Amino acid sequence: MHARTTPPPADIVRTAAVQLAPLVRPGLNVTISSDGIVEIRNPRDSRMQQSLVLREHQNALWWHWVWPGPTRDDPPEYEPMVGADDVDEAARRITNVLHVAEATEAGQ
C-alpha cells in the first residue's frame, strides 16, 4: 500500500468519474463525494461497495483502491489499480469486484 498523497482538484476527479461511470456494469451505483472519493455500490447487496480515489503514481494519475487502515483511527490506505486514462480496464476490474452472480449463473 502506498502513503496518502494530495488529491487532484475536484473538477479532474469529476471528469474522470464521469468517463468511468457509464462503463461500469449497469445496475451499479456510482457517486462522487465532496472530498473526491468515488463510491461504487451494488444495490443488490449492501456489503458490495468499493471506494476509489485518483492519486499520483509513477508520475501520472491512477485510480487507487481505498482500503481501511489497520485500526479504526488510522487513515485509509491506497493501492494503485490502473492509470486514470485506462477507463475500460478500471471499469472491468470494478465490475469484477462488485459482481453478484445470478442464481442461474451460480448453478452453471
Express each pLDDT in 80-100 by its tens digit. 999 999 999 998 998 888 876
Query: pLDDT digits over 24-78, tens only?
Result: 777 788 888 877 788 899 888 888 899 999 999 989 999 999 998 889 899 989 9
- 74 phi-psi bin (left φ>0, alpha ψ -120 to 50, beta other): beta
Dihedral sign, Cα of residue 89, residue 91, residue 94, residue 95: negative
Burial of 81 (0-12, 13-18, 19+ CB in 10 A): buried
Mean pLDDT (whole number) for 11-32:
83
* Model pTM score: 0.79
Higher pLDDT, 16 or 25: 16
3-state secondary structure of 84: coil
Quote the CA–CA distance of 68 and 87 in Å, as a whole number. 24
